[in-house]
């Protein structure tokens, strides 16, 4: 009996071939516009992972010769993404002007950083993320509100729970929200990744001639891994997203990532195994377009499972409930106040609180 690969897995393999062809230095890697490409499944995959325009951009950049009838559709998706991003770029520039005029220094992070570091950017983004110093949080919100920005919702719990960003605030046109971050991870602000350190090491990008501060490429990879492995719970659920792989390839393209400094950062904050697993998984999926640093070999066990789960989601489906529980426990231990909003049954919340009480008390005492 011959087992056939699922349509989803085939779409992922083709998507990876597209990325390798677009980013690998070796000319031996070529997507070639295969007529067997399952385009509907590829489009569904990229759309679900919010990277449709960027993936289409990669296909078109390979100059594949056999795209046929699908080429106009690829061009349409790419151009629509670029058109939307050009409007977002204008809002980003204006937001930074308002903040800088009020004496608040900010750097563009996540999707906004790609706008300032690439021409005709097609990277999808749902909002504009800016990093500011914690001491400037209230002042920054007041500045934007005076300029006509409006809170998307009245949510006092952001401040009560010491959330890593303020409530989303709509720009005056109502087109997109801005999130003012005071730290990269939900409950993590160590010296190496504090807002002060990131602002001090920021590089300069440009939007139509306007200077925009962006974290160093090393800090951008730090944030990418933190977001994927912690905020999106990828580590506990052994998952890797196509969009994160694309972001990693785009950041490392310029060759400015300091992999030793990255290792030191994750060793300091206690998440070296997560960084190693993320980077080695990226190599296993993207080689030769991406090579992980030597120290990432320690993440082999996690990476092997993540690669299998990437192509076969059912492989890790059975452990997702346990992974969700472990991720929730981690959130509670890092910030006990989050127990109020973790989506667990009340009896289970009490059980978790009781089991982690000594750790929680220790965290609270040290915070005081």
pLDDT value of position 365:
41
Residue at token pair 């969009």: 243
Q: Which two tokens stand for residue 244?
A: 């994160």
pLDDT at residue 105 above 70?
Answer: yes
**Lowest-confidence pick of 128-132, 147-151, 309-313, 347-351:** 347-351
Alpha-carbon gap, residue 38 to 7, rounded angstroms: 8
SS (H, E, C) the chain: CCCCCCHHHHHHHHHHHHHHHHHCCCCCCCCCCCCCCCHHHHHHHHHHCCCHHHHHHHHHHCCCCCCHHHHHHHHHHHHHHHHHHHHHHHHHHHHHHHHHHCCCCCEEECHHHHHHHCCCCCCCCCEEEEECCHHHHHHHHHHHHHCCCEECCCCCHHHHCCCCECCCEECCCCCCEEEEECCCECCECCHHHCHHHHHHCCEEEEECCEEEEECCHHHHHHHHHHHHHHHCCHHHHCCCCHHHHHHHHHHHCCCCCCHHHHHHHHHHHCCHHHHHHHHHHHHHHHCCCCCCCHHHHHHHHHHHHHHHHHHCCHHHHCCHHHHHHHHHHHHHHHCHHHHHCCCCCHHHHHHHHHHCHHHHHHHHHHHC
> pLDDT per residue over 221-271, tens digit each?
999 999 999 888 899 999 999 999 999 999 999 999 999 999 999 998 889
Give the number of residues written for the chain.
368
Alpha-carbon gap, residue 189 to 263, rounded angstroms: 17
Cβ(18)–Cβ(59) below 8 Å? yes
* Residues contacting residue 337 through CB under 8 Å, at least 6 positions apart: 160, 161, 162
pLDDT at residue 151 above 50?
Answer: yes
pLDDT value of position 334:
66
Label residue 361 by pLDDT band (50, 70, 90). very low
Residue 263 sits at φ, ψ, to 5 deg, of -60, -45
Average the pLDDT over 108-117 and give the result. 94
> pLDDT per residue over 119-139, tens digit each?
789 999 999 999 999 999 999
pLDDT value of position 309:
93
Cβ(184)–Cβ(131) below 8 Å? yes
Average the pLDDT over 66-85 and give the result. 92
pLDDT value of position 271:
92
Q: Which two tokens stand for residue 249?
A: 């390839």
> pLDDT per residue over 170-203, tens digit each?
999 999 999 999 888 766 666 678 899 999 999 9
Average pLDDT, the chain: 85
Average the pLDDT over 293-302 and give the result. 97
Handedness of CA 335, 131, 128, 17 (dihedral sign): negative
Cβ(228)–Cβ(278) below 8 Å? yes
pLDDT value of position 367:
39
Instruction: Provide the percentage of residues in the chain whose pLDDT is more than 90.
Output: 62
Q: Which two tokens stand for residue 307?
A: 């690669």
Average the pLDDT over 59-81 and give the result. 86
Which pTM value belongs to this model?
A: 0.86
């Amino acid at each position: 009996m011959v087992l056939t690969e699922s349509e989803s897995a085939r779409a992922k393999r083709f998507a990876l071939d597209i990325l390798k062809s677009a980013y690998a230095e070796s000319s031996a890697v070529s997507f070639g516009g295969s007529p067997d490409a399952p385009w509907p499944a590829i489009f569904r995959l990229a759309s679900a992972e919010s990277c449709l325009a960027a993936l289409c951009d990669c296909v078109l950049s390979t100059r594949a010769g056999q795209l046929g009838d699908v080429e106009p559709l690829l061009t349409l998706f790419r151009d629509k993404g670029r058109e939307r991003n050009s409007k977002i770029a204008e809002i980003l520039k204006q937001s930074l002007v308002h903040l800088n005029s009020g004496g608040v220094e900010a750097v563009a992070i996540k999707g906004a950083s790609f706008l300032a570091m690439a021409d005709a950017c097609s990277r999808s983004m749902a909002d504009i993320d800016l990093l500011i110093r914690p001491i400037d949080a209230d002042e920054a919100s007041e500045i934007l509100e005076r300029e006509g920005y409006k809170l998307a919702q009245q949510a006092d719990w952001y401040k009560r729970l010491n959330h890593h960003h303020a409530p989303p605030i709509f720009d005056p046109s109502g087109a997109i929200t801005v999130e003012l971050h005071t730290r990269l991870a939900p409950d993590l602000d160590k010296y190496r990744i504090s807002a002060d350190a990131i602002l001090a090491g920021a590089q300069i990008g440009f939007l139509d001639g306007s200077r925009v501060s962006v974290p160093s490429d090393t800090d951008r990879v730090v944030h990418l891994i933190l977001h994927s492995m912690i905020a999106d719970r990828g580590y506990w659920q052994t998952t890797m997203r196509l969009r994160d792989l694309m972001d990693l390839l785009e950041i490392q393209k310029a060759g400015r990532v300091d992999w030793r400094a990255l290792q030191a950062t994750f060793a300091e904050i206690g998440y070296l195994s997560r960084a190693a697993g993320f980077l080695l998984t990226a190599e296993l999926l993207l080689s030769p377009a991406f090579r992980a640093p030597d120290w990432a070999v320690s993440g082999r066990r996690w990476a092997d499972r993540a690669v299998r789960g990437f192509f076969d989601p059912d492989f890790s489906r059975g452990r997702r409930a346990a992974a969700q529980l472990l991720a929730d426990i981690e959130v509670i231990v890092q910030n006990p106040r989050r127990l109020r909003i973790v989506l667990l049954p009340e009896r289970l919340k009490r059980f978790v609180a009781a089991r982690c009480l000594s750790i929680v008390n220790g965290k609270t005492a040290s915070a005081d």
